[in-house]
Copies of this chain bind each other. A is one copy, B any other.
């Protein structure tokens, strides 16, 4: 178990000014890189997109496994990364775990990339 797993979920929006506005510091660069690395995977991008497109804008693991063409444990793994990075929330109801987008999380990282 790494240290990262014990820390609270990352708040992507609480950071620095846009990347090209002023020279980014070492720590902010590492944080932003972590946020981007969580997004930089085809399966995880599709998960985010599928969650957003799903009714009530939430989805359980079972909704994602088959369309992704990945094993259940792999999907759980990706969801975990997205939750820890602050892009998704998890709420358990019965035996199901429902995942939702965190409002503003994607916009927060997008804001840091924009140059205009």
Contact = CB atoms under 8 A, between A and B. Distances in A.
Interface of A: 19-20, 22-24, 26, 29-30, 32-33, 36-37, 39-46, 48-50, 52-53, 101, 104, 106-107, 109-111, 113-116
Nearest to A51: B20
A93 B30 CA distance: 32
B52 A29 contact: no
Contact of A50 (B23, B36, B46): B23
Number of copies: 2
Contacts of A19: 45, 48-49, 52, 106
Main secondary structure of the interface of A (DSSP, over half): helix
A29 B45 contact: yes
Contacts of A36: 36, 39-40, 45
Nearest to A16: B49
A106 B114 contact: yes
A26 B70 CA distance: 13
B20 A101 contact: yes
Given A19-B52, A20-B48, A104-B115, 16 more contacts: A19-B48, A19-B106, A20-B53, A20-B101, A23-B49, A24-B45, A26-B42, A30-B42, A33-B39, A33-B44, A33-B45, A36-B36, A37-B40, A101-B115, A106-B115, A107-B115
